[in-house]
Structure 1
């Protein structure tokens, strides 16, 4: 017959509920992606189902079909990912040889790229796509570390003009030309 042993050490305090919750959230951080995919899926579905569609549609595939399929697919992927995470699945950590996971994120580059993108979006109407696109391409090259001030603006202008010509002239997708296109 064995006698129960008691631990002579004082009782260790149990972890605080907030710390336990934080640890659980850290272990299941992929659920944030599930929430993002779910919100995006609901937005796509809501937009597709409230879309004003002409009744004279021909055939079974209309303008709502692709958005409904994409929205439903986003919800299915979010549910499957959430199920996998809750069952203990985890995404693999980055193993790229050029990524140092001990270094913090480069927020300066991220913010510069976001600013350049938003600036191009604001300037596309008053300046037109060729000028706003050139600023976008040059700004992205600058944000990512290129400091060739003699060549980068020229390459950005050529890429922007070629992109404008392909979309506007060849593909028939109208892009705003801006005041410079009236001169050219």
Structure 2
């Protein structure tokens, strides 16, 4: 076995930080799950704690398995299929446009409802990512927003703010 320097050893063990992060998240999810009140009506055999407990346990299992793999010498491989120039600067224009679309959705959803604010979000994301079809994109965004609203609001029973279009749906 060859001797490694401190820098190389740190680089080889840097994935243990991800293991620690996953373990902390798992513990936080489990603590929150245990503190979920059960005094409201339960609609079936599975209570409100079931999914968070499963997610928390799975986070801890993944953290332990990943730590074991890293300590045994396993390493994550760099992305080989990505065609990304790591020396290129960040595209802050795209990040800012996507942020603006998201913030516009958050500001508008209570005022004009999800169908309109969702259309703004979908169209803004398409524009930020480079699409310049100024007739097609808003139509697709409106369609996606309305389908999403109807799916969640009417079929899944998850109430979304309808705004002025609530009378239609």
* Distance (Å, rounded) in 2 between the aligned partners of 1:84 and 1:26: 15
What is the CA–CA distance in structure 2 between the aligned matches of 1:176 and 1:85, rounded to whole Å?
Answer: 47
Please report the RMSD computed on the Cα atoms of aligned residues, expressed in angstroms: 2.8
1:101/1:37 Cα in 2 relative to 1: closer, same or farther (>3 Å)? Answer: farther
1:174 Cα offset (Å): 1.2
1:45 CA displacement? 0.9
In the TM superposition, what whole-angstrom CA distance separates every residue of 1:132-165 from its partner, at most 9, and x where no partner exists?
Answer: 1101111111121112222211211111012112
Of the two, which has the highest radius of gyration?
A: 1
Moved over 6 A (4+): none
Structure 2 partner of 1:15? none
User: For 1:99, what is the secondary structure of its paired residue?
Assistant: coil
The structural deviation recorded for 1:59 is 7.5
1:75 and 2:47 equivalent? no
Give the superposition deviation at 1:169: 1.9
- Listed as ranges, the gaps of 5+ residues in structure 1 are 1-18
Question: Unaligned regions of 5+ residues in structure 2, if any?
Answer: none
Distance 1:80 1:168, change over 3 A: same
Q: 43-52 or 105-114: which moved more? A: 105-114
Whole-angstrom distance in 1 between the partners of 2:153 and 2:71: 48
Distance in 1 between residues matched to 2:42 and 2:86, nearest whole Å = 56
User: TM-score, normalized by length of structure 2?
Assistant: 0.79
Note if 1:124 corresponds to 2:109. Answer: yes
Match of 1:99 in 2: 83
Q: Could you tell me which of 10, 14, 19 is aligned with 1:34? A: 19
Residue correspondences, number: 164
Q: 1:144 aligns with which of 122, 125, 129?
A: 129
In structure 1, what is the Cα distance between the partners aligned to 2:40 and 2:133? Answer: 55
Counterpart of 1:45 in structure 2 is 30
